[in-house]
Structure 1
């Protein structure tokens, strides 16, 4: 059996018997344990100087291969092009794009260097699965090094519409690099359509739906396949986590301080794509226009820090702290704080238990690839007395969770109305919506996502290089000195 090689920006910290990792990491790790293989990526270490060496750790049939980054590479590849250029662009925030050609050169340089570190570890029949926007040029770098293996790519964040992607100066080089993979996976059908639209209208390529449902893409002298693979969770495992934590101290403390009030709950990384400011304002509108809700409901927002060294993330933290302070100052009473804003990380087991104890799950990103929090919230509910999910139409999960109350996160009044409906929804309707969503989550759990992608990557192994002339390019991917040189 071929080994599976997972390549990601960071290698998930998974240990047998340790704290529960995210469902995605667990699903990928399960596949590695079944087939045997390797997980390769950045260790998270940033070094000021020195020679960088791969660290190998064997855990049963799985090898974890990690390597550090030099400070310059971290700044250009990770902080720079990945998170100051690609992240805002792919989340439809062209106004926040910061582009520096040296950062793009560093992004390509690090991808080339990482690929060269992996090459000596590969076997001829390995199947390589690359994850996310940090590693778009990775297959192109492997091909340049002579690697002929099957290589798949999965994008965990949205793929933007062509007119948004055009705001990224090296957009054509990025899409050409994507076409070096054998299979491209996107979260949703709209993401796949956006990619195909670029191929046809900006790259003079062609797309065709195959009998197996995949899309055949011909561009830049290659033929590859692409499809939508919505990521799932393990709903029954999350339900068990939530049930086990029901009597734990965090839930008991929450209930004791609420005094029978209802809870609206959100969990998000502190990120401008999550619509947190709009969410706070919609909650304010709810208690402003519905006086009966005052002192009857509290909003719990957990927002762990992320990318704290980027100015955009420092700004959103300051805005949220100002908004929560303003709203609480306006409405709070001696025994009631309307918004509980917590800027720290919690274990998944604690979050699952808190989800189960809340009455409304409030998940309203301005744009999101999937948003597994929405699926985890539903999974954690008590089947006899489930809460209601209020979900942004711009989250990938909205394509699947029809039992949620779907909202436009730019419509403050519409979100306030949805919160009011959720808080007043009868038990029978809540149960029916919960059953429908749980059936969907069980049918398309994370193992299904993984297995479908791996099946299609195996079928895409018969790569063919078309004789179609390559489309004009805005230049080759820069080849500059390697990070370790």
Structure 2
């Protein structure tokens, strides 16, 4: 067998495959690369070196298996779909993952629904992911499981007799112990997490919160070592625990931002807004993102600093998410009401303070806005990292942009010395930061942005992957050789197909 088809492969396991599947005008299925931080992070690595990505394709329609197979060659790695029933999606994804883990890990306790049937569904779905991984992965593969949806996979792989080394990375925050311990199944979750060989977090704060939670459940737990990576011994296990702030493909974003068509798009945007001072926000519809507070801060700024009227514009992009959930629909309606109220109160001929867009922007269009914006408002109430902050700075090739960043975004741990830091709950403080941004001289803007871009260039996505692999498996990114000619042919020649059949076998 072709060496690169059999050895030293990444096997990535996440809740969703990194593709979006939709129907074309003729009713046929079409696939395109998905959006989101995890796709942005890992797709370039897998494309260059080959490997496997297992996840739910988002639908159970006929033809999905063939779609994944055909798209795999374009993507450069195998997409392996994990089939979930409607009941799985309801209890595991909408229930346990998004009505318990998501709010609680972001320190929002009110929306949590601790229903026992959600826990049963979470276990059942995690078992399906573990079974698919055990079927597809070879013993020499390195399995990397991602995020809060799949915390049980390593323990279930061991129950299935799999001996591969398995790492886990949590992309969202890990809450303080007093909050985490409210989960009725806290012990089961911690027992499962301790079965991973390495547990990675975005920040040292998240890592400390996890260690404290383990010590509260297992008082005899012992931590050895200091710094970014340490060892935690508890319940008969000694996994490594590490902080690995996720980066972006800095050079890819900077290169794309330097293309003439992107520069023209930015000029057109600025011309459309009369070359005013442009504020920019891009967020998924979610209560953790702080969009209502940001709009309230803009209102305060316009009221308190009249000189800003007619001088600034906020371009707010809101990406649709979970519109079937009443809380999310109500939030969207509240944001639209606030936009209408601010524009109704402060607009004048030729100027409105808020330009609101409710759709998912293609990356090329988003980069145009990054280039055009004088100041990015990245003000989540709580966030694991927030890659918008990093993408904006990477695209700011002029070096004159300003990053206004929440203290409670994971990115703050790296960028707090150079970004304009705000408490997202303090609307007066954000209003003052907007005013200060308008008045900031170009020299200070350049110094701040130059420092931020230097950090992002050094700690990019490839550093993140390499740091995790080194801590988890004593491997470097270079240990996974680029795909060679004949890679796909070798896969086809394996014993058994590299993709599931239409029946999912």
TM over 0.5: yes
2:168 aligned to which of 150, 153, 164: 153
1:27, distance to aligned residue in structure 2 (A): 4.1
Give the Cα–Cα distance (whole angstroms) in 2 for the partners of residues 14 and 27 of structure 1.
16
Match of 1:302 in 2: 317
Deviations 1:107-142 (A, max 9, x none): 110111221122122212111000001101111111
Q: Does 1:317 align with 2:332?
A: yes
Number of residue pairs the alignment of both structures matches = 458
Match of 1:470 in 2: none
Give the Cα–Cα distance (whole angstroms) in 1 for the partners of residues 191 and 265 of structure 2.
49
SS in 2 for 1:7: strand
For the Cα contact (< 8 Å) 1:56–1:66, is it kept in 2? Answer: no
Match of 2:365 in 1: 350
Q: Which moved more, 1:119-128 or 1:182-191?
A: 119-128
1:8 aligned to which of 5, 14, 31: 14
Give the Cα–Cα distance (whole angstroms) in 1 for the partners of residues 49 and 142 of structure 2.
10
Matches within 5 A, 1:236-385: 236-244=251-259, 250-383=265-398
Give the Cα–Cα distance (whole angstroms) in 1 for the partners of residues 66 and 315 of structure 2.
44
Deviations 1:124-172 (A, max 9, x none): 2111000001101111111111111100000000000111112222122
1:443, distance to aligned residue in structure 2 (A): 0.8
For the Cα contact (< 8 Å) 1:207–1:215, is it kept in 2? Answer: no
1:32 aligned to which of 22, 43, 46: 46
For the Cα contact (< 8 Å) 1:4–1:128, is it kept in 2? Answer: yes
Runs (4+) off by over 4 Å: 18-24, 51-58, 245-250
Deviations 1:79-121 (A, max 9, x none): 1111111100111101121221111110110111221122122
SS in 2 for 1:199: helix
Matches within 5 A, 1:46-57: 46=60, 56=69
Match of 2:421 in 1: 406
SS in 1 for 2:171: coil
2:193 aligned to which of 147, 167, 178: 178
Distance 1:115 1:96, change over 3 A: same
Distance 1:213 1:232, change over 3 A: closer
TM-score by length of 2: 0.85
Distance 1:53 1:19, change over 3 A: closer
TM-score by length of 1: 0.89
Deviations 1:414-454 (A, max 9, x none): 11111111111000101110111111001100000001101
2:57 aligned to which of 35, 39, 43: 43
For the Cα contact (< 8 Å) 1:206–1:219, is it kept in 2? Answer: yes
1:242, distance to aligned residue in structure 2 (A): 2.1
Give the Cα–Cα distance (whole angstroms) in 1 for the partners of residues 227 and 346 of structure 2.
56
Matches within 5 A, 1:384-395: 386-395=400-409
Give the Cα–Cα distance (whole angstroms) in 1 for the partners of residues 440 and 201 of structure 2.
34
Match of 2:488 in 1: none
Deviations 1:19-49 (A, max 9, x none): 79666425423433455421111111146x9
1:208, distance to aligned residue in structure 2 (A): 2.1
For the Cα contact (< 8 Å) 1:52–1:68, is it kept in 2? Answer: no
Give the Cα–Cα distance (whole angstroms) in 1 for the partners of residues 396 and 67 of structure 2.
43
Matches within 5 A, 1:96-107: 96-107=111-122
